[in-house]
Structure 1
Amino acid sequence: MKYSCTVDINLPIDKTVALWEDESNFKEWQDGFKSIEPISGVPNSEGAKSKISLEDNIKIELLETIILSDLPNKKVALYEHIHMTNTQTTRFKVLGQNKTQYISEVEYTKFNGFMIKLMAKLFPSKFKAQSQKWMNQFKAFAEKSNP
């Protein structure tokens, strides 16, 4: 399953990327975000691995591996969970002096277990809706954070 989402943010690209990349901000726009713990490598650089913990009704732990880090042009990360594996490509594009487009492309490459396979087959729009929700929440947070 593959999809993409976009949102336009009323901030210059450098401020947008800095807010997005700052892990201390994740709790501001990702529902249920608890923590990100470096496992190996330099955080946000190619090859770095981190454990991400989320909790929203259920506890979720993901292993993040940075495949490519070249922001604002492109950041590619692999996310592995007991029930699924996906790759997320993030890009930021200048739309104007104070306007940035945030683009996220997500590809799920593996689903483990009957229920998650069924959900992905019957409700693929739910996955995209969650990504778009977090992007919209990031937009609201970023625009509110601009002094």
Structure 2
Amino acid sequence: MKFTCSVLIDAPIDQVIQLFDNPDHLKEWQDGFISFEPLSGTPGTPGAKSILTYKHGKREMQLVETITAKNLPEEFSGTYEHKHMDNAVTCSFKALSHNTTRMDYLVHYTRFKGFMPKLMAFLMPGLSKKYTQKWLDQFKNFVESTVSQ
């Protein structure tokens, strides 16, 4: 399953990239984000692995992030492994004007592990896209409120 989400951000691309590229800001726009823990490699560079921990309801969820490419603003790519599914994400930014930046987010679910994740993906394919778009909209709000301060 593949999909793309986009958002227009009213801020200069350099400021958008600076906020995106700092894991300390993940809690500002990703619901349930708890922690970022480097595992190996130099954090923020291709080949680096980290554990991202989220809380949804009473459950904690951990993803192992592996950065596969980083050439911002053109590309930030990574793989995300979870016990129920794996996906690959490519994010890019484009300056549309001095104060407008477009953020594009391509998500490709590469594997669903187990019956329930496969069933959920089949029955509700739009749920992941809706959730991803919500995060991008929250990132837009975070950036615009931070830049205007």
Give the TM-score category using the shorter length. Answer: over 0.9
After TM superposition, the runs of 4+ consecutive aligned structure 1 residues lying more than 4 A away are none
Aligned residue in 2 for 1:56? 56
Equivalent position of 1:67 in the other structure:
68
Paired amino acid for 1:53? T
Give matches, 1:62-141, under 5 Å.
62-141=63-142
CA distance in structure 1 between the partners assigned to 2:42 and 2:72 by the alignment: 15
- Give unpaired runs (5+ residues) of structure 1: none
TM-score of the superposition, structure 2-length normalised?
0.97
Structure 2: tracts of 5 or more residues without a match: none
Q: Note the C-alpha offset of 1:23.
A: 0.9
Q: SS state of the match for residue 47, structure 1?
A: coil
TM-score normalised according to structure 1 size: 0.99
1:113 positional shift? 1.0
Question: RMSD over aligned Cα, in angstroms?
Answer: 0.6
Give the match for residue 6 of structure 2.
6
Looking at structure 2, the residues matched to 65 and 23 of structure 1 have their Cα atoms a distance apart, in angstroms, of 14
Deviation string 1:62-87 (CA, Å, 9 cap, x unpaired) is 00000001111001100000000000
- Structure 2: how far apart are the matches of 1:56 and 1:144? 25
1:38 is matched with which residue?
38
- Find the aligned partners of 1:140 and 1:84 in 2 and give their Cα distance: 29
Aligned-pair distance for 1:22? 1.0
The SS at the match of 1:120 is: helix
TM-aligned CA deviation for residue 21 of structure 1: 1.1
Report the identity percentage. 45
**Separation in 2, partners of 1:28, 1:76:** 20
Spell out, residue by residue over 1:96-125, the C-alpha distance to the aligned partner (whole angstroms, 9 max, x if none). 000000000000000001111001001010
C-alpha distance in 2, partners of 1:130/1:102?
16
